[in-house]
Chain A
Amino acid sequence: MLAALFEKAETLVARPVTPDPAFEGEVAALRPLVRAVVASVLREPHDHPDVEDVTQEALRRAVEGKSRPTGPARPWLLGVARHVALDLIRARRRDRARFEDGVPDAPESASTLLIERIADPGHGAVESLLETERRARVMRALAILPEGTRSALELFHGEGLAYAQIAARLEVPLGTVATWVTRGRKAIADALSEEDAASSKPTEPRRTP
């Protein structure tokens, strides 16, 4: 299945005009992170053969493809890896639907749903509507973040500054920047998972003392 999927992709990805050793070096250095993202999207252990195959394919597409990132390579490359891994998941689902028609899927845990939500914003009218609501929740969460946390996120993602540069800009220690970014991410993850929390709340009546 993987071979067929990648073969199809082969025809879509154009060959590079000129090799770029610096970019290729940057991509190679990000391999462990790409592998971690692929394992996370596929929900497989990091030594699973599919993880290795998808990682390899994502790196190949990044290096051999015509497009290059306009900003930092890391988010761009992770986006490529997420895309390739999601392609495989969709192919797996199509195959499962074809061969196991009528067999209900196993229920998914809240954490699995959250990772799926983070990985794949989704398509289709209903998913688009839900995604708009999710985005609105994230916007609200970002708006009420403490100033330092929001600034750190904006400088990192918006201006592409490294942690050390953010620390210098905001005149705080490096550890504070790392903590702020971590807290900001947690707030975004919480906003994305609010829907799951609401839907999985216990329905039994509260016990009174």
Chain B
Amino acid sequence: MSAEMLPEDLLYAENGHASDVVLTCLADGEKAIVPPALVAHVLACPTCHGHLGNAALLSLRAGEEVAHHLAAKKAHEAKLVPSPYLALAAGLLLAILGALPRLATLPEDALSFGKSMVEGGPSFVRTASHGMVELGHASEQGRLVASIAAGALLLAVAAALARRAARAQAS
């Protein structure tokens, strides 16, 4: 099996030296696609050898520039990923609507649950239930604050998760 080589018309420049394409190939380590006689010429000919050095330096510099370009492109694309604000807002609204009936009766529910535990449960449950009764009383006043704080926390966590998922999908 013979490996594919550069076509003849790309091998030589008009002045008889190696073409820029050949010098680029050699600079990029693609020696196998250049005829061996031409490789030997480039290494022995002062003109071609000088151009090979320049081509290799340019290859090195181009690699650095392209890496920078790719990194900038990736960063730009990550910035362009839209935050799913609309979906988040809709989800949050739905969650609040669903929780509304429960939020309205939450202190009463906690109180009655706590009381039933104090009256009928084992001793360690009773101790814990006193805490729930206290919580129930406290939540009478802090209900609104607690609801808002919980909502904000939910929103923050959801936003972070959604953004991370969108970025992962984009990359």
Residues of A with Cβ closer than 8 Å to B?
30, 32-33, 36-41, 45-46, 72, 74-75, 78-79, 82, 115, 118-119, 135, 138-139, 142-143, 153-154, 156-158, 162-164, 167, 173-175, 178-179, 181-182, 184-186, 188-189, 192
Which A residues lie within 8 Å of B58 (CB)?
A: 118, 185, 188-189
CA distance A89 to B4 in the complex (A): 40
22 example contacts (A-B, Cβ-Cβ < 8 A) are as follows A33-B52, A33-B56, A37-B56, A40-B56, A41-B57, A45-B50, A75-B63, A82-B60, A118-B54, A118-B58, A139-B68, A153-B66, A157-B63, A157-B66, A174-B5, A175-B6, A178-B10, A181-B24, A181-B28, A182-B21, A186-B20, A188-B65
Which A residues lie within 8 Å of B65 (CB)?
A: 135, 138-139, 142, 188
B62 touches A157 (CB 8 A): yes
Which B residues lie within 8 Å of A158 (CB)?
A: 66-67, 70
Partner of A164, one of B29, B33, B67: B33
Which A residues lie within 8 Å of B70 (CB)?
A: 154, 158
CB distance from A141 to the nearest CB of B (A): 9
CA distance A90 to B73 in the complex (A): 35
A39 touches B53 (CB 8 A): yes
A182 touches B53 (CB 8 A): no
Which B residues lie within 8 Å of A153 (CB)?
A: 62, 66
A162 touches B50 (CB 8 A): no
A-B contact sample (12 more), CB < 8 A, given A157-B63, A174-B33: A33-B52, A33-B56, A39-B50, A46-B49, A82-B60, A119-B61, A135-B65, A139-B69, A154-B70, A158-B66, A178-B21, A188-B62
A142 touches B49 (CB 8 A): no
B33 touches A39 (CB 8 A): no
Total contacts A to B, CB within 8 angstroms? 124
B24 touches A74 (CB 8 A): no
CA distance A30 to B72 in the complex (A): 31
Which B residues lie within 8 Å of A192 (CB)?
A: 61
Partner of B43, one of A32, A142, A178: A32
Which A residues lie within 8 Å of B27 (CB)?
A: 33
The 7 closest A-B pairs by CB, nearest first: A40-B53, A36-B53, A157-B66, A182-B24, A36-B52, A157-B63, A175-B7
B33 touches A74 (CB 8 A): no
Binary CB contact string for chain B from 130 to 170 against chain A (1 if under 8 A, 0 otherwise): 00000000000000000000000000000000000000000
B46 touches A74 (CB 8 A): no
Which B residues lie within 8 Å of A30 (CB)?
A: 29
CB distance from B165 to the nearest CB of A (A): 25
With contacts A39-B49, A119-B57 taken as known, whether A142 is within 8 angstroms of B66 at the C-beta atoms is yes
CB distance from A194 to the nearest CB of B (A): 14
With contacts A156-B28, A182-B20 taken as known, whether A174 is within 8 angstroms of B4 at the C-beta atoms is yes
CB distance from A62 to the nearest CB of B (A): 14
CB distance from A138 to the nearest CB of B (A): 5
Binary CB contact string for chain B from 9 to 51 against chain A (1 if under 8 A, 0 otherwise): 0100000000011001111111001000000000100100110
CA distance A96 to B59 in the complex (A): 31
